[in-house]
């Protein structure tokens, strides 16, 4: 992982904001070479197997569950490896072309494993020692000889694949491989994810609506449709002692502005505890919500009291997005699985003097990307929404950032959309919103036009670090188009 790809935010010891563990991706790996070589060059196979062991070790250190299907020497062994990898339900299958092999040895693996395929060939060093090497030593360097053959056969068989060619000690090659391993984390998270969708669409925001069939069809995810009554009953069960404890915890995690009304904070704490129980009871990995309400009735109060609890959930790796933004809550989960915590974001204003795009959002925010202790501010009105209460305010840590949107096309297909920029210091609004000044190295108006033309919706995710390469890889593993700005 490069420095700009890494999310470098301190972990809190408070369990309310301690990031949860994500499921390890299952990485299947099989190495191979032409068995006819082994009796001819007795030292070749042991050398290739040692290299295979080193590759497996590197994969294991990348926080993955590695299924090693061994080292194959002919097509029969290839079919046996395919059966083992199919049974493992892999998120990514890696085929290591250790030396030349015939394409019929690996075609069954790609056909039967039921997972995206990555081809790698990593020769022992950056170059051969031509004065010393004979045929046996050369064969350890000729894994790339198979890449065009295997690629041709996979293409003719209709099998998508990607490849990384390099040498075992190459940082560039391992950076490319690591991007695919991180992308497999996103695939693992989405294949097993349960997305909560509670309430109803923000009236008139047609872009926010999402075909609920599309998520399980594309990712394998489950969408749990919830009512605000599911939350209401759990909030009603919160006792005074638990509410007081949550208020005390919030007072430690946040700076409390003088505008915070104690009664509003108590209500937000009760809603927060109800949200925790809702997430646990339905085993949710993300949550999108909205309820308009009317005349101060209970459901309106619940909708207005969500910001504290939703922000705490997001900090723990269970992203919560307002305005019924299912695609954005899913995008937030993808970013979280990649280790790049993302905050719910929209356009706010442009500063043409400084060439920055001001973006952020009211409502829940990702506390782990804050540049300072987040503030709770009391608001007598939520602009464009009913109700009142406490809201989270902070600015995002200065440095590299990525905007990431999950778009939906005319045919219903989902797209990954990303742009890389940098948060720069400067004046910000103090109205109970998260907010950032993002410099994209160009005229901000032109950036908005190009960003809007991609098919992004009203909202997206702002993540710390540069993650375009990993998001592109994740899009490919998940069968989605990718658009960069």
Residue in 98, 201, 208 with CA at minimum distance from that of residue 150: 98
Position 5 in a domain: no
Each residue's pLDDT expressed in tens, for the chain with a length of 485 residues: 333 333 333 445 578 888 888 889 999 999 999 999 999 999 999 999 999 999 999 999 988 999 999 999 999 999 999 999 999 999 999 999 999 999 999 999 999 999 999 999 999 999 999 999 999 999 999 999 999 999 999 999 999 999 999 999 999 999 999 999 999 999 999 999 999 999 998 888 888 888 899 999 999 999 999 999 999 999 999 999 999 999 999 999 999 989 999 999 999 999 999 999 999 999 999 999 999 888 888 998 999 899 999 999 999 999 999 899 999 999 999 999 988 888 888 999 999 999 999 998 876 778 888 888 888 888 766 655 666 678 888 888 899 999 999 999 999 999 999 999 999 999 887 776 788 899 999 999 999 999 999 999 999 999 999 999 999 999 999 999 999 99
Helix (H) / strand (E) element for 167: namely strand 161-167
Q: Render 101-126 in DSSP notation, one character per residue.
A: --GGGTHHHHHHS-S-EEEEEEESSS
**Residue corresponding to tokens 């804050």:** 370
End-to-end distance of the chain based on CA atoms, in angstroms? 22
- The answer to whether position 15 is within a domain reads no
| Domain shared by 334 and 231, yes or no | yes
What's the domain count of the chain?
2
- Residues 178 and 197 both lie in one domain: no
Report in angstroms the alpha-carbon separations of 216 from 38, 193, 336, 377, 381. Answer: 46, 10, 19, 38, 37
Same structural domain for residues 223 and 123? no
Helices (H), 7-116: 37-40, 44-61, 75-88, 107-112
Q: Is residue 251 part of a domain?
A: yes
Which runs of E-coded beta strand occur in 282-423? 286-290, 320-321, 342-351, 356-361, 375-379, 389-395, 399-408, 414-423
Residues 302, 372 within the same domain:
yes
pTM: 0.89
Residue with tokens 């990649």: 338
Domain contains 8: no
- Torsion-angle region of 105 (φ positive above 0: left; ψ -120 to 50: alpha; else: beta): alpha
Same domain, 75 and 155: yes
CATH of the domain at 277: 3.20.14
* Together in a domain, 217 and 76: no
| 164 and 83 both lie in a single domain | yes
CATH number of the domain enclosing 185: 3.40.50.10940
Same domain as 173, residue 31: yes
Q: Which of 52, 45, 46, 108 is nearest to 76 (CA)?
A: 108
Question: How far from 225 is each of 127, 198, 222, 326, CA to CA, in Å?
Answer: 57, 6, 10, 11
**Pair 180, 203 in one domain:** no
Q: Does residue 10 lie within any of the structural domains? A: no
Last residue of a domain, one of 190, 211, 231: 190
- Looking at the structure, tell me whether residues 357 and 417 fall in a common domain: yes
| Domain end among 171, 190, 209 | 190
Kindly state the tokens that stand for 83: 């059966």
Q: Where are the beta strands (DSSP E) in 246-325?
A: 255-256, 286-290, 320-321
Same domain for 196 and 186, yes or no, is no
The CA-based diameter of the chain, rounded to the nearest angstrom, is 87
Classify the phi-psi angles of 314: left when phi > 0, otherwise alpha if psi is within -120 to 50, otherwise beta. alpha
Give the residue ranges of DSSP H helices in 305-349.
307-315, 326-337
Q: Assess whether 327 and 454 both reside in one domain.
A: yes
Residue 11 counted as domain residue = no
- The whole-angstrom distance between residue 402's C-alpha and the CA centroid of its chain comes to 12
Q: Which of 308, 342, 328 is nearest to 414 (CA)?
A: 328
CB atoms closer than 10 angstroms to residue 141: 17
Domain that holds residue 43: 26-190
Q: How far apart are CA 140 and CA 373, in angstroms?
A: 55
Measured CA to CA, the distance from residue 467 to residue 471 in angstroms comes to: 6
- Of 156, 190, 224, the one marking the end of a domain is 190
């Amino acid at each position: 992982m490069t420095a700009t790809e890494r999310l470098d935010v301190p972990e809190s010891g408070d369990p309310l904001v301690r990031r949860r563990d994500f499921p390890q991706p299952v990485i299947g790996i099989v190495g191979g070479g032409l068995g006819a070589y082994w009796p001819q060059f007795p030292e070749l196979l042991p050398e290739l197997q040692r290299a295979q062991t080193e590759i497996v070790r590197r994969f294991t250190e990348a926080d993955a569950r590695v299924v090693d299907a061994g080292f194959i020497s002919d097509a029969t062994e290839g079919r046996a490896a395919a059966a083992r990898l199919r049974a493992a339900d892999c998120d990514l299958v890696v085929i290591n072309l250790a030396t030349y092999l015939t394409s019929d040895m690996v075609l069954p693996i790609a056909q039967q494993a039921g997972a995206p395929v990555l081809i790698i060939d990593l020769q022992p060093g950056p170059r051969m020692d031509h004065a010393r090497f004979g045929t046996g030593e050369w064969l350890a360097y000729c894994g790339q000889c198979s890449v065009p053959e295997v690629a041709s056969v996979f293409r003719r068989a209709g099998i998508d694949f990607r490849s990384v060619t390099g040498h075992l000690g190459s940082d560039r090659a391992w950076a490319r491989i690591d991007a695919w391993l991180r992308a497999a984390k996103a695939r693992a998270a989405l294949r097993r994810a349960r997305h909560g969708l509670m309430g109803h669409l923000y009236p008139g925001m047609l872009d926010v609506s999402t075909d609920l069939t599309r998520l399980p069809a594309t990712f394998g995810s489950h969408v749990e449709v919830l009512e605000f009554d599911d939350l209401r009953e759990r909030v009603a069960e919160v006792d005074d002692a638990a509410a007081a404890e949550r208020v005390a915890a919030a007072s430690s995690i946040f700076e409390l502005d003088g505008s915070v009304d104690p009664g509003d904070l108590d209500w937000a704490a009760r809603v927060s505890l109800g949200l925790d129980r809702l997430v646990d009871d339905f085993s949710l990995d993300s949550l999108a919500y909205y309820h308009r309400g009317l005349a101060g009735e209970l459901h309106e109060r619940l909708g207005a009291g969500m910001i504290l609890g939703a922000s705490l959930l997001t900090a723990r790796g269970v992203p919560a997005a307002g305005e019924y933004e299912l695609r954005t809550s899913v995008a937030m989960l993808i970013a979280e699985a990649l280790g790049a915590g993302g905050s719910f974001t929209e356009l706010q204003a442009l500063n043409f003097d400084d060439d920055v795009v001001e973006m952020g959002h009211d409502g829940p925010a990702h506390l782990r990307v804050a540049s300072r202790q987040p503030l709770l501010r009391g608001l007598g009105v939520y602009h464009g929404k009913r109700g009142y209460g406490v809201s989270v305010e902070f600015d995002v840590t200065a440095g590299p950032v990525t905007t990431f949107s999950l778009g939906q096309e005319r045919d219903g297909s989902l797209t990954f959309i990303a742009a890389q920029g940098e948060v720069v210091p400067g004046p910000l609004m103090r109205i109970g919103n998260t907010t950032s000044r993002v410099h994209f190295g160009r005229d901000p108006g032109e950036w908005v036009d190009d960003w809007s033309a991609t098919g992004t919706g009203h909202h997206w995710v702002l993540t710390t670090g540069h993650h375009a390469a990993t998001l592109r890889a994740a899009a490919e593993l998940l069968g989605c188009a990718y658009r960069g700005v």
